[in-house]
Amino acid sequence: MKIAIIGAGASGIIASLTAKRLNNNIHIDMFDANKSIGKKILASGNGRCNISNTNVSSENYIGENP
């Protein structure tokens, strides 16, 4: 099986890793406007390249719809 992922940022990288874990025989092509994948991740987290919050739970977020 072959798939193409458009956008090689954090979401595209996670999507490709997830697809590969589900099917190791899959062929993945990633396309992005930048020359290198994940380039914008380098600027996140004050240079620490974080793509997720370590405290992911409803208690740590505020919204109008609980």
Per-residue model confidence (pLDDT) at position 65 = 66
Domain assignment present for 7? yes
In a domain, 56, yes or no: no
Number of domains the chain contains: 1
Total-model pTM: 0.64
User: 21 in a domain, yes or no?
Assistant: yes
DSSP secondary structure, the chain, as one string: -EEEEE--SHHHHHHHHHHHHH-TT-EEEEE-SSSSTTGGGGGGGGGT---S-S--SGGG---S--
Within-domain flag for 27? yes
- Structural domain of 31: 2-46
The answer to whether the beta carbons of residues 9 and 32 sit under 8 Å apart is: yes
pLDDT (0 to 100) of residue 42: 75
pLDDT block averages, 10 residues each, the chain of length 66: 93 93 96 86 72 70 69
